[in-house]
Structures are given as structure tokens and as C-alpha cells.
Amino acid sequence: MTDPFFIDDLDADQGAHSPRPGGIAARARAAAGGPRYLDGLNPEQREAIEAMDGPVLVLAGAGTGKTRVLTTKIAHLIAQGRARAHEILAVTFTNKAAREMKERVALLAGPVAEGMPWLGTFHAISTKILRRHAELVGLKSSFTILDTDDQIRLMKQVLQAENIDDKRWPARALAFQIDAWKNRGLDPAHVPAGEAGAFANGKGGQLYALYQERLKILNAADFGDLLLECLRLFKENPDVLAQYQSRFRYMLVDEYQDTNIVQYLWLRLLAQGRHNVCCVGDDDQSIYGWRGAEVDNILRFEADFPGAKVIRLERNYRSTGHILAVAASLIAHNEGRLGKTLFTDGELGAKPTVAGVWDSEEEARSVGEEIEQLQRKGHALDEVAILVRASFQMREFEERFITLGLPYRVIGGPRFYERAEIRDALAYLRCAAQPADDLAFERIFNLPKRGLGDATLQLLHDCARRQRIPLMQAAAAMVETEELKPKQRQTLRGLLSDFSRWSSLIDSKPQGELAEMILEESGYTDLWRKDRTAEAAGRLENLKELVRSMEEFPDLGAFLEHISLVMEAAGVDGGPRVSIMTLHAAKGLEFETVFLPGWEEGLFPHQRSLDESGRAGLEEERRLAYVGVTRAKRRAKIYFATNRRIHGLWQTTIPSRFLDELPADHVEVVEAASGAAYGGYAQSRFANMDTYGSSYATPGWQRARRRAEESKHEAQGRGQQGKTYQQNRRGPLQIEGELIAKSSTASGFVKGARVFHQKFGNGTVAGVDGNKLTVDFDKAGRKLVLESFVQAG
DNA sequence: TGTGGCCGAGTTTTT
DNA sequence: CTCGGCCACA
């Protein structure tokens, strides 16, 4: 085989049907001279790949090989000589998706695809374009990218300068509003008067303009600007636009259902050149409406791009038959959709289960027990996931798993770059690289404490605002005057001279060494060295990790850009673990077994979604449910609890309406795995047999019904069930505590030892039982934990 | 400058 | 209930 694009079955997970070697299909292809990378694609996938000219919309259902189509298409375009790697624009939403696509294209097309310079997120690609033409939009090409935090702080300054009461008109709210405007492609001049006037007695639009002005002075852009300013660049400079329109012979867009208006406008402008735009997406998986995604973009595609070809991928390679049937029936309740039905030739598999539990604690207990059963049967823990609607639901599972000693990981926790020490360190680097970065300067100006307080900052601000210059420049001016007290003046002068020294080293010193030097000389590292709290060591470790990761970049600028657009948590592995995450975070992933807890009205669908967006909100929630179910390859396990604590109060809940939408023939109603099950079917719409066919006359269902009756009576007899329950609830913990306290055997820890736990913090060992410790945590109270989860404190 | 207490909010999250 | 932010006070 001389074909350079030959690959092994790269894509087993997408279930490619490899044709029998020498089979008719293979021989026909050989005769036609078709390239090997097209082997094993189904006709629709192949059609999507071979449709190269003009606009194409690929409606790719969950698990239908969407990524494979995209990556193969890129390889195909290159192999067919339609375009070279740098003439293809491929856009994704997340850095993760971009990275994966890059890897897979490299595998398929090899070195020919080297680089794919225009494969990236909307933001990364826009940034790249903006830096090249920054001066045309009033920026310098070294502009800083502000994150949400910086945005809000900048907004606070703007509001303060305008004497607007931050209490009544929170900076955060206006920052969000501006972000929303930017997502809709609206600059200050184009915000509808009604909306602009809604904030701060009609000043919203004006404040937006002032905020933009400040950004330019700081030589900064926020996330929204990256797209909006790029769009403005194109609109105001037809020559620049033409240059990119002709460069991008082919454009591919992943997750098109998640695009917002500004992204759509940006794409449409570029696509007006060669018209070869291929968008891949699934309207049924649009779950980001609340942050500006426009499902309409995908629903309207054919109107927006005349002559568009629409290809549906409906053959699912991920899930078994019953799971797909459940997903299909659920999503069929949505009205605003293009319509597609997943199917599989594979086995029916096990029916998704629905189990009712008394409360969230029993829910966690049952899930834990089921996972342990799976584990005993030899199932891998990293093929198990718990997908929740809201992150507060995670805590209960975490606590249960810690008790059980079940390894788990929470996906989507606080990110590396959001941690205080990382942000502080970055602020130092930003100041050195970009002295106009006021927000960074403000952050570290008195960190570590150096006696420069709010009063000094206020003076600097006044000066900066009066002269329309950055803070550091203002500071430089003020240390030459008598306006500051001698002590502050001296300190500030020292700080400024430190920064100018560090700045001067940027081009000569490797950025890693420079960073170490800055953190050392500024006294920042010492701040944490002196800190004797348990977290300090971890923070120092994070700082080291930061310096280490810098060394992979060509220079400080490249690193800072990466950090503002990309930086993710340094993954600490260590054996297979159960994943706990939100449904949103689960999109694009798949697991053998998926637990879907919390299917109750108010939580899922979430009340707020219904209140704020009505029918559209409900449909988005339903799509979320659909995403959840379609993550499962072989087992989907749905739960609902009858009681849940909401804002500290126990409330009786009603099973989710989505349960009523599941097809009776494909669902099994089961008892929860935990022994101490209450029925909890009282008041359940789900318990209404008439909704279902006769197939619900299963033993499990009958048991469930029986218990529903019992618990109804129980509830009546008990009166205030919420209160009674609250008392019950404290029971088990106590019992566990006592049990543990009784025995004490060999362990690395002794009673009275101080320990540190990742989740609960510091505490004192109150009892030891084998590898289990009872610990009185300073903050979290008494908990039973596994020895392996704590460190000596 | 640091800390305690009070008040308010409380879904999902990328870039 | 629990956390975070902000203000007032030491």
C-alpha cells in the first residue's frame, strides 16, 4: 500500500463496519481507486465527506460518528488536492475538541496536515486574526485577553467613576449584559434603546461604550470582543476580509447548534467567499441556549445558505436498542426540531431502569451499591458515570463514595487557572509583559502585603483616569511628586523599578526562569512558604507546575495567550475512577453505564429554566435529558427521589414529567438497590398506571405500586413527614461513628492525630477502625473517611 | 490591615 | 443550609 492515508481501524469506538477484505464492497472500491481512509464508512457518512462543494449541513445524531466525519473530511480535502492544510478553516467550541480533532486529523492525514494552523476554537482563531490586524481596531497586537473576573473588576471601576451605586446596579449584572450583547453581535451603537436603557436608569448603553473605551486604553479585549472586534475588522476592512475569504477554501464547523449570533455572522461573512462551508451539529443536543447559543442557527441553515445540502446521520454506533428507543421517545416530545431518529443494527440490550427512592441520601446509597455490584462483576469504574443536573447534587455522591472507598473524580471542578495562586502569579507575569494591564497590576499591587492600601490605589486611579493612562504609568508619574506619603512612595518606586527590570529581561531570559525570578523577588513565593495552613504546600506545588508548563512555549507572550484561552487543570490520574459530572459537561462523552439521578420536577426540568424561558426552556431541559440518556452505551439508570433538600429545607418532590415521556415498552421500573427503600411513589404522576400500557405489570412495578400505597398511608399517619424525616436522617451518621469508635486496630494514624483531607480540610482523628478513620473536622464536623484519603497534618 | 458578622443568593459554563 | 462578598470595627 503506497497510499499515505492508510490507517488502521482508528475508530473502533464509532463502530465502523470494516468490509470483509476481498468482499464485494472492498473490491469495488479498489476498482474505483477509492482511498482506504473511506473504508468502513456508512453511505451517509461517506456522502457527508464527499459533498465538498457548496454549503453542507450534516445533522449528526448522538453517537453517529460525527467527529470521524469531520476529521476524515479534512483528510479527504487534503488528499484530493482540494486544499492544503493551511487553506482549511476548522472551528470548534472548546479547546478540548480542537485538540482531539488535531490529533485525529494528524493520524489520518499524517504530516501533510502538519499544524492545521486554522483549526481551533472560534476564540483562538479570532485572536489570531485580530493580532495580525490589531491596529485596525484600535489595539496593539500584544493586547491582553481578560477573563470574566477581570471584566467584572473593570466594570466596577467604570461604575465607580460614573458614581453608580454598585449595590443597586451590580457590576456583574452589567458585565453579563454586555457579554450577551456581544454574543448577539451588538456594539454600543447598535444596542436596542430599550435594552440599553434598562440598566442604571437608562445609562446601560453609555456604560457599555465607556467600558469599551477603557478596554482600549488597557490594550485589552474580553472574550466577547475577540469575536465582535474580529467581525468589525472584517466589516470595516473589505480588503482584509477578502484576504481571508480567499484563503479559506473550505470551512468546517463542529457543534453548529451551539453557535451564537456573532459566531454565525462571523462565519457567514467568511463563507461569502467560496461558499464551501460544512456545518456539523445536532439540534437535539443544543443545551447552551442560556449562554447565547441560537438553535435557530441550525434550524435556519438551509435558508441562510441557499442551495445547502442536508445530510442526516442516524445510524448510531454507541448505544443498545432499548436505550435509543428511550432517547427517541423522549426527544420526540420536542416541537422545534429538524427531526431525526437514531437506529442501530446492534442488540436491544438491557432496558433502561427507573427507580424511586425516598431521598437524595438513599439515592446516593443505591447508586453506590449498584456501582459496587458492577465492580464485583468486573466492570471498569472509568466506564461508569453519574450525570447530574446541578452541581449541588454531586456532594451527596462524593460523600457516599468516600465512605465506601470508591474512587471517583469530579469533572468540571475549579480550573487550574482559576485558582488564586495561579491568577496571582499570572498577574505578575502580565504586568511584566504588558505594563498597561491595570487589572493585573491592581491584583498584585499589594500582594504580598507591602503597605500599599486602598487609599494609595484610589490616588493612582484618580490620576490614571484624569490623564487616561494605565495605572503603572500613573504610578510612575506619582512617585515623582509629593502626593504620596514618603513610605508608600518609596515602596511603589521599588515595585516599579522591579517591574521595569523584569520587563527588560523578557526577551533575553527564558520565560520559566524569569517567572521564577519574579515570583521569588517579589516575595510572592515567600507568602505561601510562610503560610502554615494545609493548602499552602499544594499552592506552591501549583506554582511550580505553572513554571514547568511555561517552558513548553516559545516565549512569555505565547504562554500568556495560551493561558487566557486554554489552560486546563493538570490531570492527576491514578487508576480508573467513577466520573461525577453535570449533564452539560457530559456532552460528547460516553460510558458503558450511566446513572441519571434527580429526575424530579423543579430540579429536572429545572424550575428556573421553565420560569425564565417557558416552553423553549422546557425543550432545552428535555434535550439535556436526551443528552444524558444517549451517553450510555449499555446501561442507563434513572432515579427520582421523593424528598430533596432545597436551600436547606426538605421538600417533597414530584417525579419528573420526563419520566412520563419514556416509552413503557423499553423501560424497566425497578426497586432501588439500597435495602432500606421506602416506596415514595405517593403523589407520583409516574405512579399513574393509566399512562402506560400493560407492560408495567411486571413484578418490580407491582412491588413499587404496593410500596407506593404503603408510603401514602405512612405519610398520612405521620403528618409532618418532612420534619420526622429530618430527625431520622441524622441517625445513620451517629451509628457509623459509634461503630467505628469501638474497635481500633493497626493503622498509620492514632486517635488524636491531626490530619488533612482534600475535601473536608483539617481535623482530628477521633477513632480508628482498620483503614477507616472517624475524624472530627474543624469545619465539616465528624466524618467517616478512608485512611488513604487523608494526609498527616 | 485584618477579621467577624451580617446579608443575600442559590442551574447549567466556554472562551 | 452554606457560601461568598462586603462593611464595620478593632
Count of structural domains within chain A: 5
Measured CA A90 to C1' B15 distance, in angstroms: 16
**CATH classification at residue A646:** 3.40.50.300
Tell me, yes or no, whether A47 lies in a domain.
Answer: yes
Q: C1' nearest to CA of A604: which nucleotide?
A: B11
Measured CA A23 to C1' C6 distance, in angstroms: 74
Mean pLDDT of A211-240: 94
Among residues A222, A254, A370, A769, the one annotated as catalytic is: A254
Q: C1' nearest to CA of A645: which nucleotide?
A: C1
- Count, residues in chain A: 793
Quote the pLDDT of residue A213: 92
Tell me, yes or no, whether A24 lies in a domain.
Answer: no
Q: pLDDT by residue (tens digit) across A408-456?
A: 888 876 667 777 788 888 889 989 988 888 888 888 888 788 888 777 8
Measured CA A76 to C1' B14 distance, in angstroms: 30
Higher-confidence position of A112 and A194:
A194
Tell me, yes or no, whether A547 lies in a domain.
Answer: yes
Give chain A's mean pLDDT: 81
Percentage above 70 pLDDT, chain A = 80
Measured CA A750 to C1' B13 distance, in angstroms: 43
Q: What are phi and psi of A705, to 5 degrees?
A: -65, -40
User: Which triple of cell numbers denotes residue A234?
Assistant: 472584517
Name the pairing type of β-strands A668-670 and A353-359.
parallel
The answer to whether residue A255 is catalytic is yes
pLDDT band at A154 (very low <50, low <70, confident <90, very high): confident
Tell me, yes or no, whether A748 lies in a domain.
Answer: no
Q: C1' nearest to CA of A388: which nucleotide?
A: B12
**Vertex A776 angle, CA A774 and A777, to 5°:** 120
Helices (H), ranges, A282-419: 295-299, 301-304, 321-331, 360-376, 392-404
Q: C1' nearest to CA of A446: which nucleotide?
A: B1
Buried b / exposed e across A276-288, counting CB within 10 Å, b at 16+? bbbbbbbbbbbbb
Closest CA to A223 of A164, A150, A278: A150
Give the residue ranges with Cβ < 7 A from strand B: A 93-96, 121, 123-124, 147-148, 223, 290-291, 389-392, 412, 415, 446, 449, 451-454, 565-566, 581-582, 584-585, 606, 608-609, 612, 647-648
Give nucleotides in strand B with any atom < 7 A to a protein C-beta.
1-2, 10-15
The answer to whether residue A304 is catalytic is no
Quote the pLDDT of residue A725: 26
Residues A120, A257, single domain; the answer is: yes
Q: Are the C-beta atoms of residues A309 and A278 closer than 8 Å to each other?
A: no
Higher-confidence position of A29 and A541:
A541
pLDDT band at A13 (very low <50, low <70, confident <90, very high): very low
Res. A680: pLDDT tops 60: no
Least confident of A371-380, A461-470, A514-523, A661-670: A461-470
Quote the pLDDT of residue A465: 80
Residues A495, A583, single domain; the answer is: no
- Rounded to the nearest angstrom, the gap between the alpha carbon of residue A277 and the centroid of all alpha carbons in its chain is 26
The answer to whether residue A539 is catalytic is no
Quote the pLDDT of residue A208: 92
| Domain end position, chosen among A634, A652, A671 | A671
| Domain end position, chosen among A671, A701, A736 | A671
Mean pLDDT of A501-521: 90
**CATH classification at residue A191:** 1.10.10.160
pLDDT band at A672 (very low <50, low <70, confident <90, very high): confident
Measured CA A360 to C1' B5 distance, in angstroms: 32
Residues A130, A149, single domain; the answer is: no
The answer to whether residue A779 is catalytic is no
The answer to whether residue A50 is catalytic is no
Quote the pLDDT of residue A364: 94
Least confident of A14-18, A84-88, A544-548, A665-669: A14-18
Residues A545, A434, single domain; the answer is: yes
Residues A437, A496, single domain; the answer is: yes
Quote the pLDDT of residue A490: 85
Quote the pLDDT of residue A790: 65
Name the pairing type of β-strands A56-60 and A668-670.
unpaired
Tell me, yes or no, whether A15 lies in a domain.
Answer: no
Residue type, A709: E
Q: Are the C-beta atoms of residues A385 and A578 closer than 8 Å to each other?
A: yes
- Specify the residue for cell string 420534619: A723
| Domain end position, chosen among A639, A671, A703 | A671
Residues A431, A544, single domain; the answer is: yes
Least confident of A130-144, A309-323, A450-464: A450-464
Among residues A39, A46, A66, A274, the one annotated as catalytic is: A66
Give nucleotides in strand C with any atom < 7 A to a protein C-beta.
1-2, 7
Residues A547, A581, single domain; the answer is: no
> Across the strands, what pairs with A652?
A643
Q: Could you list the residues of A known to form a binding site for ATP, using ranges.
A: 60-67
Q: Are the C-beta atoms of residues A623 and A285 closer than 8 Å to each other?
A: yes
Quote the pLDDT of residue A325: 95
Cβ-in-10-Å burial (0-12, 13-18, 19+) of A664 comes to middle
Residues A455, A396, single domain; the answer is: no
In angstroms, the CA A47 to CA A248 distance is 22
Tell me, yes or no, whether A170 lies in a domain.
Answer: yes
Residues A601, A555, single domain; the answer is: no
Residues A550, A441, single domain; the answer is: yes
Tell me, yes or no, whether A61 lies in a domain.
Answer: yes
Please indicate, yes or no, whether the overall pTM of this predicted structure exceeds 0.85.
no
Q: C1' nearest to CA of A166: which nucleotide?
A: C6
Among residues A46, A443, A631, A637, the one annotated as catalytic is: A631
Res. A610: pLDDT tops 60: yes
Among residues A14, A45, A67, A320, the one annotated as catalytic is: A67
The answer to whether residue A254 is catalytic is yes
**CATH classification at residue A454:** 1.10.486.10
Measured CA A535 to C1' B3 distance, in angstroms: 20
Q: Could you list the residues of A known to form a binding site, using ranges.
A: 60-67
Least confident of A148-152, A228-232, A250-254, A685-689: A685-689
Give the residue ranges with Cβ < 7 A from strand C: A 166-167, 647-648
pLDDT band at A729 (very low <50, low <70, confident <90, very high): very low
| DSSP designation for A480 | T
C-alpha torsion sign, points A431, A436, A439, A444: positive
Residues A291, A241, single domain; the answer is: yes
Residues A503, A433, single domain; the answer is: yes
Domain that holds residue A437: 419-561
Q: How far is CA A565 from CA A89, A95, A344, A513, A560, in A?
A: 18, 8, 39, 23, 9
Tell me, yes or no, whether A428 lies in a domain.
Answer: yes
Q: pLDDT by residue (tens digit) across A687-724?
A: 443 333 323 333 333 333 344 333 433 333 333 322 22
Q: pLDDT by residue (tens digit) across A269-303?
A: 999 999 999 999 999 999 999 888 998 899 899 99
